[in-house]
Structure 1
Amino acid sequence: MKAIPRPAFKTQGIPSDTLIQPQPIEIINEYEIDSTGVQQCVASYAKGRFLGKGGFARCYELRDLTTGKIHACKMVEKSSLAKPRALNKLKTEIRIHRAMEHPNVVKFNRYFEDDKYYYILLELCNHKSMMELLRKRKSLAECEVRYYMKQIVLAVKYMHDRRIIHRDLKLGNLFIREMRVKIGDFGLATQLTEEKERKWTICGTPNYIAPEILMGKTGHSFEVDIWSIGVIMYTLLVGTPPFETDKLETTYHRIKTNTWSFPDHLDLSQEARNLVSSILTISPDARPSLDTILSHHFFDGKYTPSQLPEMALSSVPNFPITPAKRSGLPVRMSPARTSPAKTSPAKVLAAKLEAAPSPKRALFQNNENNPHLINGCTNFPEKNIHGKRNTAREVKPMDTSLRSPQHHKILRVFRKEGSEDDERIRSLRSQMTRAALTDTTKETKASHHQENSDENEQGRATLELMHKSLAATLTSDRPKETRSEEVLEDPTCWVERWVDLSAKYGLGYQLVDGTYGAVFNDHSRIALYSRPRSSFAFGKNQESIIEYRSHQGERMILTQTQAEQAHLEHQIKKKVTLLNMFKNHFTDHAGPCEAKAGQQYHLTRWFRTKSAIIFRMSDRSIQLNFLDHTKLMLSHDGQVVTFVDKKKIKTTRRLGSIDFESNPELLHRLRYVRDILLYLLSKNNGETQEP
């Protein structure tokens, strides 16, 4: 394994301490020995983010540098497998898993090793596991349970037909990719040599382990997986495992005595209750077969979605049949789930704001111009994003103090004759629908210029360097470089999710490093950092920090506790409330981002065109999210480009090393960024005017 070195960057016009150099990434090479006995490198991978750990393995994203394909890689350190039994266990897992190919089994891609590690490359499941699903949803509707359970049962049937027993079926080992279940983690799996063979190893996960494994008197076979299927089904319906207690000994005792029940308050169909009860039977021989489960009345003739939308990961989707108790309809749900589901994250947020008590309700009253929610993750439907407004009932605005003076105005760009660059500027005139980079009143302009003169000067210098780098790189006579493209570490200052409520308040966002923030229409901004930065002198206090900047440039730093207890000005208190509501909405629908150590950043300014939304970050990088869901970031004075293509593959490269002949999609977008930079520079020169 080797690391790609950091490239050198020109820093003219920018103090050296303000440039954040990209960290080198770890490269893992796969070698094979050819027929002549010579070792050849057959593939190279860039090690990405940490996914999780279990047993002896740690799991990371691994990106193939040739194809761009991203794998989930289980890395097992060889030193941890010193005992022959542990090594044999890993070899059994590889042998069993690589032999299977089923749409509901995590695909085994390849396996290799080097002097230090064993590498198992698997299909990457973009929606994590059903454990995360249940953590967000609490419990599922019966039609959703049918949807998932059919897939699980079919996958287990496929394994049993090949005499494979998984022995560790649980929500954490049921992964979701493109809203389909994939069974993974075959670390405890075994393959029988004949149908009647019994196994005696005590293994499994406490809440899901079958009673015959705990008792150990008669051995165990395929029926242990069927028992786990019953536990999984109960857990999806109820929200908690049937035998779960605070003490392990008590949980095992309840399993051995089969002590469990359905909660009295839960409204479940009799078919669901009967199926779970028939599976959770002490005697393995009395449990139904997989074919019997699939033909049970719970599945037979009942509505089952052919495909669930991605929003079902975080909220109840709309179904063609409205469930109701004792209605005779084929789907039943608890009363808590009978209200109409929100069809987009924006409507989910709007419902919360509508129901919020004063003063939150006054802060968040919705109207029909309220823009929709945008989210960079795949947890949300994308049919309404970028420019399409969600319609909600019209209400009288309760708070207009956060409105910007340029509300509903469009920038007008003056043209200069005979200039190709000015022609590009003029072509952007009709696109500018929102510009938080400028103010539209003389009074605000004067104060804003005075408050941020140093920042604006450095920001302009950065824009000039970016435009100069792009203009030089994108010229037709650019010499081709012979060296291969350098791949760098992905940026940490990246807008992961955002919601545009600028029709009344501003834009809320979540960065990939765990920072939450908002940029308000009055040009103030606020950020909630997951941990103190080095410049925040709070000693050993590791509490989250709130940083607020007014439109006059006044800066206030508080811990989250201080913000809740302090007697803040009315307007600041409102904005802290808005920030917390944004944060809660993001975490409720997509979960929190993993907090990362080191310097943390925030969004400073943003605006929109018909083609993209543009973010300016505190490290002076610029990010564009395009209509077609591609994303691009220019950082390090324009020397580094991060690009997310339509397949959601993210790559970070040095600008000068990119081969544009093989990346026409990226070339087209970089030209657009060049025009945006030219527009911003001309605007700063006074070549723009409000209507």
Structure 2
Amino acid sequence: MNNPNSNNNDENNQLVIIEEKVLKQNSEAIIKKYMRGRFLGKGGFAKCYEATSLETKRTCAIKIIPKSILTKNRAKQKLISEIKIHKSLSHQNVVIFEHVFEDKDNVYILLELCNNNTLNELIKKRKRLTDIEVQCFINQIINGLKYLHQKKVIHRDLKLGNLFLSDRLEIKLGDFGLAAKLEFDGEKKHTICGTPNYIAPEVLEGKTGHSYEVDIWSLGVVIYTLLIGKPPYETPDIKTTYKRIKQNQYTFPDNIQISESAKHLITSILNLEPSRRPSLDEIMAHPFMKGQIPKYLPLAILQCPPSQSYIKQFTPENFQQKNIALKNMISSQGLIQSLAFGKNENSKNTLGQTFVPPKTQSSTNINSKNALFIQNNNNNNLEQQQNIRAVATTKNWFGYLSQKNNPFQMQKSQQKNFTSTLFKQFSQNQTSSEKKIFRKQSTLSTLNEQNLPAWVVQWIDYSQKYGLGYILCNGCSGVYFNDATKMIFEPSSNKVEYVERQNNSEQDVVVSFSLQEFPQDLKKKMTLLQLFRNYLKEQKNRRKLFKRNLKFTSIKQQQQQYQQYLFYQWKQQQ
């Protein structure tokens, strides 16, 4: 087996197979093999990679700890404690511990793979988050912390880099390398540990010991960092940072707008006296955390902030008004299922007197975001590709269709201009900046004029190298290339359309040809189109292996998720 502890750049170019020897009851040995994938990160002396079981094709994260660093008894006991604590935990907001095994060189810990990285990467890309995003994430972090504390576990290293994001942007607390389990109520720990920017003052003092309150302090630092963009006590020098923490020296920047309720919450949490910090329940009852908080956020926030229309639906002053308006719309139009999917009017999915946000049937093409490997026919090496994200969408633009102007009731002669009508209706609900984007008409002629409009059901973002590949609900597949050209394939007619814009022209030039006979100068793009299409189709067939306990958001949230994705896609085209 190749040594997995070599240079990171060399490792990513190597095909590494990790073998696990499993002994059955009859002493017969079974060898399980895992293909090591992309490098995910490192902490302490361990490195973490994506791994794929060659037996089940299931992906996970694999943490590799070299035995060479476990020669001292203290290091060994620390690893045993981490495994013992993490193995005992089972909660939706805690990274799943799969199992652990070893060989002569390393100890391997298999963990749940969180495909959307951590809040640390999100802040690096977005700089800072909006209140509604912070509220959603903090709500989930608190749920995880409450579970840990009920199990008498102190995390002791709560930071953005240890707050992982799942496929549906659900927070997962991870890395229990510094975690401690209390044996009895009131017990104090005295080990000085943590990450400099997030460490609590009582840990640095080390006089009276510390307990659960250190996690609450770190939570306050997390909230500040998400809203401001950097930790409150951060300095270039660790000693200066520790001094500022001990003296509680931090400020709120004048050039960054932050609500008074957020300031009050942060100030109350970042209290030098542990006993004066609010409890987790008190944080949840704070005015900053009041109002309607989305259970999950749309995937589009990985790229750009949520729109004002999305944020507005969760503001207290508009929520009651929104519910009444939505209820009236439902009662005037009939069942949502009837409007969106043409179900029988006698369906039992009716609403009672108390309004409940309706659930929707979303696209069945919801896939895990996994590493894409493309086989190179020349050297048979596996080339690791970029991340994949799936977008859950609704089958109707609920909230933008009125009974009087219902596009689903249009005659076929009217459907020719359906797309432009839909974008016109949609743009009326956007901010002025968004309107400029959505008013632009698409010149692609692949949507059948006699069909309803198509929407994206799967997509793969490989824009760092080639472009964005996708599959539509009608079976068409396409690629938006980095050079702003577009290619789309319609399987029913075996027709491919290639769209490019000539220099100094506002008109797109469309070239049509078959899948088998195409211009030789487009050979590379045709290959990419077929690779993306085949891969996404394969992922669709294997989605049950990669998805467990998937719960969809409300129809309103899914609609907004699709809006956010469209906003990002149009923005990329400008």
| TM-score range for the pair, normalised by the shorter chain length | 0.5 to 0.7
8 Å contact from structure 2 (residues 468, 480) kept in 1 = no
Structure 1 match to 2:81: 92
Letter in 2 for 1:180: E
Structure 2 match to 1:156: 145
* Partner SS for 1:249: helix
Q: Give the drift of 1:27.
A: 1.9
Structure 2 match to 1:64: 53
8 Å contact from structure 1 (residues 493, 617) kept in 2 = no
1:497 aligned onto 2:468 = yes
> Deviation string for 1:466-493 (max 9, x for gaps)?
xxxxxxxxxxxxxxxxxxxxxxxxx999
8 Å contact from structure 1 (residues 48, 62) kept in 2 = yes
Query: Aligned partners of 1:189, 1:644: CA distance in 2, in Å?
Result: 37
Q: Give the drift of 1:396.
A: 13
Query: Aligned partners of 1:77, 1:259: CA distance in 2, in Å?
Result: 40
Q: Give the drift of 1:231.
A: 0.5
* Partner SS for 1:623: helix
Structure 2 stretches lacking a partner, 5+ long: 4-12, 321-384, 396-418, 424-434, 447-461, 470-477, 488-497, 506-510, 547-574
Structure 1 match to 2:536: 631
Q: Give the drift of 1:238.
A: 1.3
Distance 1:378 1:409, change over 3 A: closer
Q: Give the drift of 1:384.
A: 10
Structure 1 match to 2:227: 237
Structure 2 match to 1:130: 119
> Deviation string for 1:26-78 (max 9, x for gaps)?
2222112333444332x221111111111111111110112111010001111
1:506 aligned onto 2:485 = yes
> Deviation string for 1:306-345 (max 9, x for gaps)?
3211001121223656559x996699xxxxxxxxxxxxxx
8 Å contact from structure 1 (residues 202, 214) kept in 2 = yes
> Deviation string for 1:497-518 (max 9, x for gaps)?
369679x96259xxxxxxxxxx
1:171 aligned onto 2:76 = no
Distance 1:34 1:167, change over 3 A: same
Query: Aligned partners of 1:631, 1:153: CA distance in 2, in Å?
Result: 36
* Partner SS for 1:135: helix
Identity of aligned residues (%): 38
Q: Could you tell me which of 149, 162, 185 is aligned with 1:195? A: 185
Query: Aligned partners of 1:167, 1:181: CA distance in 2, in Å?
Result: 17
Structure 2 match to 1:214: 204
Matches within 5 A, 1:370-381: 377-378=387-388, 381=391
Structure 1 match to 2:248: 258
* Partner SS for 2:219: helix
Query: Aligned partners of 1:280, 1:263: CA distance in 2, in Å?
Result: 16
Q: Give the drift of 1:290.
A: 1.1
Query: Aligned partners of 1:319, 1:191: CA distance in 2, in Å?
Result: 43
* Partner SS for 2:140: helix
Distance 1:261 1:644, change over 3 A: same
Q: Could you tell me which of 125, 131, 137 is aligned with 1:142? A: 131
8 Å contact from structure 2 (residues 444, 499) kept in 1 = no
Letter in 1 for 2:72: K
* Partner SS for 2:528: strand
* Partner SS for 1:52: strand
Query: Aligned partners of 1:112, 1:106: CA distance in 2, in Å?
Result: 18
Matches within 5 A, 1:377-396: 377-378=387-388, 381=391, 383=393, 391=423
* Partner SS for 1:253: helix
* Partner SS for 1:51: strand
Letter in 1 for 2:268: S
Query: Aligned partners of 1:116, 1:394: CA distance in 2, in Å?
Result: 55
8 Å contact from structure 1 (residues 377, 496) kept in 2 = no
Letter in 2 for 1:134: I
8 Å contact from structure 1 (residues 616, 622) kept in 2 = no
Q: Give the drift of 1:133.
A: 1.0
Query: Aligned partners of 2:65, 2:519: CA distance in 1, in Å?
Result: 41
Distance 1:51 1:271, change over 3 A: same
Query: Aligned partners of 1:188, 1:607: CA distance in 2, in Å?
Result: 60
Q: Give the drift of 1:24.
A: 7.1
Q: Could you tell me which of 284, 290, 296 is aligned with 2:280? A: 290
Letter in 1 for 2:485: G
1:276 aligned onto 2:266 = yes
Q: Which moved more, 1:492-501 or 1:116-125?
A: 492-501
Structure 1 match to 2:571: none
* Paired residues, number: 400
Letter in 1 for 2:468: R
Query: Aligned partners of 1:193, 1:26: CA distance in 2, in Å?
Result: 41
Query: Aligned partners of 2:500, 2:526: CA distance in 1, in Å?
Result: 21
Structure 2 match to 1:183: 173
Structure 1 match to 2:21: 31
Query: Aligned partners of 2:286, 2:528: CA distance in 1, in Å?
Result: 52
8 Å contact from structure 1 (residues 164, 189) kept in 2 = yes
Query: Aligned partners of 1:616, 1:384: CA distance in 2, in Å?
Result: 38
Larger radius of gyration: 1
* Partner SS for 2:287: coil
8 Å contact from structure 2 (residues 479, 529) kept in 1 = no
8 Å contact from structure 1 (residues 623, 631) kept in 2 = no
> Deviation string for 1:228-277 (max 9, x for gaps)?
00000111111111111222122111100001122223333322221111
Query: Aligned partners of 2:301, 2:15: CA distance in 1, in Å?
Result: 35
Query: Aligned partners of 2:439, 2:316: CA distance in 1, in Å?
Result: 39
Matches within 5 A, 1:290-369: 290-300=280-290, 302-318=291-307
Letter in 2 for 1:251: T
Query: Aligned partners of 1:520, 1:98: CA distance in 2, in Å?
Result: 53
Query: Aligned partners of 1:2, 1:27: CA distance in 2, in Å?
Result: 7
8 Å contact from structure 1 (residues 198, 221) kept in 2 = yes
Query: Aligned partners of 1:31, 1:125: CA distance in 2, in Å?
Result: 26
8 Å contact from structure 1 (residues 377, 497) kept in 2 = no
8 Å contact from structure 1 (residues 69, 649) kept in 2 = no
8 Å contact from structure 1 (residues 226, 290) kept in 2 = yes
Q: Could you tell me which of 105, 108, 112 is aligned with 2:97? A: 108
User: Which structure shows the higher helix fraction?
Assistant: 2
Matches within 5 A, 1:604-619: none
8 Å contact from structure 2 (residues 117, 164) kept in 1 = yes
Structure-1-length-normalised TM-score: 0.50
Distance 1:319 1:306, change over 3 A: farther
Distance 1:266 1:494, change over 3 A: closer
Structure 1 stretches lacking a partner, 5+ long: 4-22, 332-374, 398-406, 411-490, 509-518, 524-570, 576-605, 633-642, 652-691
Query: Aligned partners of 2:66, 2:229: CA distance in 1, in Å?
Result: 36
> What is the RMSD of the two structures over their aligned residues, measured on CA atoms?
4.7
> Deviation string for 1:79-100 (max 9, x for gaps)?
1211111111111111100110
Q: Give the drift of 1:179.
A: 1.0
Q: Give the drift of 1:408.
A: 8.3
Distance 1:292 1:31, change over 3 A: same
Query: Aligned partners of 1:81, 1:312: CA distance in 2, in Å?
Result: 41
Query: Aligned partners of 1:46, 1:209: CA distance in 2, in Å?
Result: 37
Structure-2-length-normalised TM-score: 0.60
